[in-house]
Amino acid sequence: MNVLQVYGPGAKLRGEVVVPGDKSISHRAVILGALAEGATTVSGFLTAEDCVKTARACQQMGVAIEGLGGTDLLIDGVGLRGLGPPDKPLDLGNSATGMRLLMGVVAGQDFTATLTGDESLQRRPMDRIAEPLGKMGVEVVGQGQRCTAPVTVFGGIPQPITYHSPVASAQVKSAVLLAGLNAPGTTMVIEPAKSRDHTERMLAAFGAQVDVQGLQVSVQGQPNLRGREMVVPGDFSSAAFFLVAGLLVPDSEVTVRGVLLNPTRTALIEILQRMGADIQVSNEREVSGEPMGDITACHTHLTATEVDGDEIPRMLDEVPILALAATQAEGRTVIRDAGELRVKESDRLGTTTEILSAFGAQIEQRPDGLIIDGSTSLHAATVDSHHDHRIAMTAAVAGLIAEDRTIVQESECIRTSFPDFVDCLRDIGADIYAE
């Protein structure tokens, strides 16, 4: 899959979709399964490239993992300090989550490891991890002022700290907490706003002593983590593309089954409902410490809104697809406080503006956000994904409501999070093809 062809406006979208396992939880399940003692079983593991890279990195450090390549894994945990030195750099591909979390893991081991990745990942800043690890007494050496990859972590015994994170970032928080597992005392992270909380939920499930007080999260070092069964819910960020497609394509009704409903991830639902969207959540339940359920979206005429502040960390990955929805909403939608998107797989404020402008949208980027005027009829376009999976999928959904044929180039990046994206869209009626 290198080029997508999308034809619109086409037939209505109708049916049910099961999206792959949540990306964030899949990364963490493998890592904590590796650090636990005994067997951990993971069902619903995301088989996309990013999560597989994290699992292979754990294998390089001596962790036996059966079933890799499928959705059901058996991990033979080695304990908190049982990892071994890799015989070559850990290649995390395009996965910043994998790299940042494993930097925290290696910080607490008795060896040195180098972590690297593809060209895109080597441009992403790792100083936000290197700084708190340095405060814990762990030396980290990267490239340039932003400590980009390849980055070398000199493991040891981290010292417990209280870290005031300058950004609301689950990756920063998680790296510090994972390093804190091998610290002799309590490690605390204080954030400016609430970020996704999968790490603290999962640490507690594996047996760590975790305390959450508002924006403060602490872990007691040197716990006895025990292997367990983990079920990974469907990825909400992947579901978002189908929900917005259901809202925008006339006469559509799309249900996504078994989706993660963690409140640190689902601000998009609240925002779309504020815009008037017909979105219903049903069959809510809890699995492996995480809430999940089914979400149905029906075609709706939307009105503009403003998004900023504490909502942004809870829907950061969904900003591109929300911007597409805003092109079809009456009035001016303003998105602020999203400067973090400048350092994702692409500069997502810039690439979102570029691709939606190519479709004829009225969109303007600001240093920390976007302004979108709607509603606007979109026309077909030829766009480049900039090797960013969420940009590629946003462009594909835009093609469903644009006149004539849309071409999305460099679409192979979708494999990093959603290998069956095209097939799932076709199953509910989309006129989309991969070459």
Distance CA 150, CA 318 (A): 28
- Those residues whose C-beta lies under 8 Å from the C-beta of residue 244, and which sit 6 or more positions away, are 272, 297, 321, 322, 324, 325, 397
Amino acid type, 68: L
Contact predicate 46/23, CB 8 Å:
yes
**Is position 87 annotated as part of the catalytic site?**
no
> Which of 50, 118, 317, 388 is flagged as catalytic?
317
Contact predicate 104/177, CB 8 Å:
yes
- Those residues whose C-beta lies under 8 Å from the C-beta of residue 141, and which sit 6 or more positions away, are 147, 151, 152, 154
Compute how many other C-beta atoms are within 10 angstroms of the C-beta atom of residue 229: 11
Phi and psi torsions of 423, nearest 5°: -60, -40
Amino acid type, 284: E
- The count of C-alpha atoms lying within 13 angstroms of the C-alpha of 333, restricted to the half-sphere facing its C-beta, is 29
Sequence-ordered strand ranges (E) for 323-413: 329-335, 362-366, 369-374, 382-384, 404-409
Nearest C-alpha neighbor of 211 from the set 224, 197, 225: 197
Distance CA 3, CA 216 (A): 45
Contact predicate 124/147, CB 8 Å:
no
Nearest C-alpha neighbor of 329 from the set 362, 376, 397, 379: 376
The catalytic residues are 317
